[in-house]
Amino acid sequence: MDLGLKHRTALVCAASAGLGYACAEALAREGAAVTITGRDAARLETAATSLRALGAEIRTAPGDITTEAGRAAALAACPSPDILVNNAGGPPPGNFRDFSEADWLSALNANLLTPIALIRAVLDGMIARNFGRIVNITSASVKSPIPDLPLSNTARTGLTGFVAGLSREAAQHNVTINNLLPGPFATDRQTKIAQAEAKRSGVTMQAAMAEREAANPARRFGRPEEFGAACAFLCSTHAGYIIGQNILLDGGASNSTM
């Protein structure tokens, strides 16, 4: 299927590794010109080199996307994106009693206010051009809260409410805003979560990872390329009638009828 992404421009945030990288790769494979961001400039350049090997036009914008300077750099490299993939690192796990106000503000900034700021920066241009695709990487935690991740559960649910409203306003202009909700995917983030679990339960990290895989109905972690493919479809010309949705990619882990 031709996704109609050739000559489209995409800004994919936090994309030197993991799910962001997988989205950038899937868009690049479809012929989009992609700008990727990340804090570690060397790691970002390595990712860009891999993406360029696919024949894609790739720009980099090193910086912390949760800061104004990082967002300005991203938008300078890709001023009028047709596609925006919002992503940033997830907040740390822990008991809510142990988090300071600064911890809460940091999580709200990274996983709620940053995507809103970027949407604000690009939305009107997309509306004027009558094409736009915005995909927010959130988490399965918005459907089913994850114990020990109160910062993530809270900040991402706030973004979900914002998107639910705004996406209905933007739809008439062929601008879609949707959320992709990862369950457990095999990325560095997953390793860190397993490390924390292993420490808490006094088991090896391998045992903690194996237990997590066995507990999933698919009996495995998701593959980042599966996530990237879903993102590319949501960004395609075919997905103009998918509005304000929260699409779970979790191997069936969230146990519900609908």
Q: Which one of residues 31, 90, 115, 150 is an interface residue with ligand NAP (CB under 6 A)?
A: 90
Integer distance in angstroms from the first to the last C-alpha of the chain? 28
The type of residue at 139 is: S
By C-beta, is 15 or 175 nearer to ligand NAP? 15
Q: Does 150 engage in binding with ligand NAP (CB under 6 A)?
A: no
- What does the longest C-alpha to C-alpha distance in the chain come to? 56
By C-beta, is 132 or 182 nearer to ligand NAP? 182
The candidate with the shortest Cα–Cα distance to 129, out of 170, 98, 100, is: 170
Q: Which residue stretch of 85-93, 163-171, 212-220, 234-242 sits at the interface with ligand NAP (rule: CB under 6 A)?
A: 85-93
By C-beta, is 1 or 256 nearer to ligand NAP? 256
Binding string to ligand NAP for residues 37 to 76, with x set by CB under 6 A, is what?
A: xxxx--x--------------------xxx---x------
Alpha carbon distance 199, 204 (integer Å): 8
> How is residue 10 written in tokens?
């995409």
Alpha carbon distance 145, 139 (integer Å): 9
Give helix then strand counts, H and E, for the chain: 9, 7
Q: Does 14 engage in binding with ligand NAP (CB under 6 A)?
A: yes
Distances (CA, A) of 238 to 108, 170, 218: 32, 17, 28
Q: How far is CA 186 from the centre of its chain?
A: 14
By C-beta, is 4 or 93 nearer to ligand NAP? 93
CB of 131 to ligand NAP, least distance (A): 26
Q: Which one of residues 185, 194, 228, 244 is an interface residue with ligand NAP (CB under 6 A)?
A: 185
Q: Which one of residues 5, 8, 16, 251 is an interface residue with ligand NAP (CB under 6 A)?
A: 16
Q: Does 17 engage in binding with ligand NAP (CB under 6 A)?
A: yes
Q: What is the pairing mode between strands 9-12 and 33-38?
A: parallel
By C-beta, is 174 or 213 nearer to ligand NAP? 213
The type of residue at 252 is: G
Q: Which residues bind ligand NAP (CB under 6 A)?
A: 14, 16-20, 37-40, 43, 64-66, 70, 87-90, 137, 139, 182, 184-185, 187-190
